[in-house]
Amino acid sequence: MIRVLIVEDSPTVCLLLKSILDSDPDITVIDTASSGEEGLRKTLALNPDLVTMDVHMPGIDGFETTRRIMAQTPKPIIIVTGSIDPREVKLSFHALEAGALAVVEKPSGPGSPKFQHDAKELIKAVKLMADVKVVGQRLSSRPQRPVAVSIRPKPVGQIDLIAIGASTGGPAALFTVLNGLPLNFPVPLLIVQHISLGFDVGLAEWLSSTTRHGVTLARDGQLLAAGQVLIAPQGTHLGVNGTKRVLLDARTDAIGSFRPSVTYLFESVARVYGSRAVGVILTGMGMDGAAGLPAFHEAGGYIIAQDEASSVVYGMPRTAVATGVVDQVLPLNRIASTLSVLLQMENNP
């Protein structure tokens, strides 16, 4: 049984979350709190398995409450927010710096056609995150120290592009990777991150403000350039065309229920860049991306997957490794260093 504490200042939303979570036989809501201070006290007193956290509350907000919980009694924390205002979404992502595991959309009410879907997504997130082992530490905004990396050299060609796919736990993983890359890395970097509709702008702004790189949503027809970090807009596949420009595709169906899809990105990059690309699969639930790896491998691209120990959810990396074409399986804190070494090896022989 997963014991959950809900921290939410709206009585209506609190009742909604409680009814959804209590509807699952594997979850029980042990208590609720209407402020950050109360949430901290009850976390210390009740020792829940997981905490759902609102962002805007009277007194200390969700970010500060998360920071204090992680400092005093680390717990899996999910930020549940109902606003898609980019500024408020960015604040939600800042809670990841304090140790929260994920940011999810607040479910719509029972009268909404989205209710059943939203309820299932919340329950799924709680079950996934309750099993994550957390420690009392925050993401560091300081650049990572270089890590010595020994890798099998790519046999041919230079690297002209990096493509990254992520899902559950991805925002924090992307933070770590981007924060470890040098400012002057010499290639564009394309990202597909599964995230709730309306949260993509906030994700880009948060990554821009917390890493040393400018991160933006990709625009159709945009010319790719060194050092760019582009994220797929929600509801649109991200790819590249033969003139090395961004290709956004809102017409092609979802792949495995995802649009944008990591598989779409990898297949597109393989067609255009071939052996001059690196693909990275980060933490995430499901199998997206794996179906695109054989084409990536056959074209000569280099493939890296995050390891199980450092993944919040070892779903996408696991299915990637199972394809048999992954070149390296690495802990999260070595991926940026490995990318840097690959770029130095290939672009500065």
Examine the pLDDT at 135 and tell me if it is beyond 70.
no
Report which of 26, 27, 48 is spatially closest to residue 7, judged by C-alpha positions: 48
Task: State yes or no: is 117 an active-site residue.
Answer: no
Q: Exactly one of 35, 92, 167, 275 is catalytic; which is it?
A: 167
Read off the pTM: 0.88
3-class SS of residue 34: coil
Percent helix, strand, coil in the chain, to 5, is 40, 20, 40
What's the length of the chain?
349
**Active-site residue, from 9, 61, 200, 288:** 288
Assign 97 a pLDDT band (cuts: 50, 70, 90).
Answer: confident
User: Are 46 and 31 in contact, with CB atoms under 8 Å apart?
Assistant: yes
Distance in Å from the first CA to the final CA of the chain: 56
Structure tokens at 309: 């120990």
Annotation marks residue 194 as catalytic:
yes
Answer yes or no: are the C-beta atoms of 326 and 293 closer than 8 Å: yes
User: pLDDT, tens digit, for every residue of 267-318?
Assistant: 999 999 999 999 999 999 899 999 999 999 999 999 999 999 999 899 999 9
Q: How far apart are CA 298 and CA 293, in angstroms?
A: 8
Q: Which of 158, 305, 140 is nearest to 211 (CA)?
A: 140
Catalytic entry in 35, 49, 160, 194: 194
Which residues, other chains included, contact 234 with Cβ-Cβ below 8 Å and sequence gap of 6+? 195, 196, 197, 198, 199, 200, 260
347 pLDDT tier (thresholds 50, 70, 90): very low
Specify the pLDDT at position 225.
95
Q: Say whether pLDDT at 156 is over 50.
A: no
Rg (CA), the chain: 20
Query: Are 198 and 158 a contacting pair, CB within 8 Å?
Result: no
Phi/psi of residue 7, each to 5°?
-110, 110
CB atoms within 10 A of CB 206: 25
Is 94 among the residues known to form the active site? no
For residue 72, the tally of other CB atoms under 10 A from its CB is 12
> Which CA distances in Å does 175 have to 35, 113, 193, 282, 295?
28, 34, 12, 12, 28
